[in-house]
Amino acid sequence: MAIMHSYLNFNGNTEEAFNFYRSVFGGEFSGGIMRFKDSPGCDGPDSKVSEADGDKIMHIALPIGNGNMLMATDALESMGQKVTPGNNYYIYIGPDSKDDADRIFNALSEGGKVEMPIADSFWGSYFGCFADKFGVQWMVDYTYEQKTA
């Protein structure tokens, strides 16, 4: 297995929390800040995301130490998400291969509740998330190798 990180859910204050964490740990956000309005289908007149929710954080990551990453999102009540103690985190796994991603996803999610089936994502990885049969929340995210010219 390549990596394992913590992934946190916030109730609309991810940006405030991560600016605080950055003030403690230092560094810069890896890949910048991705807002909901920056994702496909979440802008323009047909968007299902309100203007206020569009400015919320879809993804943010702060490198901490050697190879560790603290990541997060704003849970949107408009999308049926509600943050309560116990569901405000995920364990993020970045497997070494797509086959390993399938194996881990299928084994850990058995008897649990799949939130998002594992599949290719619009951001370019192979991603899925679920709660296992013990209620622990997991994200499995295989990043395809980048082809070099």
Please state which of the four CATH numbers 3.10.180.10, 3.40.50.2300, 3.30.2350.10, 3.10.100.10 is assigned to the domain occupying 3-143: 3.10.180.10
Given a contact cutoff of 8 angstroms between Cβ atoms, the answer to whether 15 and 60 are in contact is yes
Render pLDDT for 43-61 as a digit per residue (tens, 0 to 9).
566 667 777 788 889 999 9
For 69-83, 87-101, 125-139, which range has the lowest pLDDT when averaged over its residues? 69-83
Given a contact cutoff of 8 angstroms between Cβ atoms, the answer to whether 48 and 40 are in contact is no
Sign of the torsion angle spanned by Cα atoms 25, 126, 105, 86: positive
Q: Listing from the earlier edge strand, what are the strands of the sheet with 68-74?
A: 34-35, 57-64, 68-74, 3-10, 89-94, 137-143, 125-131, 113-120
Asked whether the whole model's pTM tops 0.75, one would answer no
Query: Is residue 123 predicted with pLDDT exceeding 70?
Result: yes
Please give the residue that has the higher pLDDT: either 140 or 89. Answer: 140
Render pLDDT for 88-117 as a digit per residue (tens, 0 to 9).
788 888 888 999 999 889 998 999 999 999
Contacts of 65 (CB under 8 A, 6+ apart): none
Note the pLDDT of residue 144. Answer: 87
Note the pLDDT of residue 132. Answer: 85
Query: Is residue 36 predicted with pLDDT exceeding 60?
Result: yes
What is the gyration radius of the CA atoms in the chain, in angstroms? 16
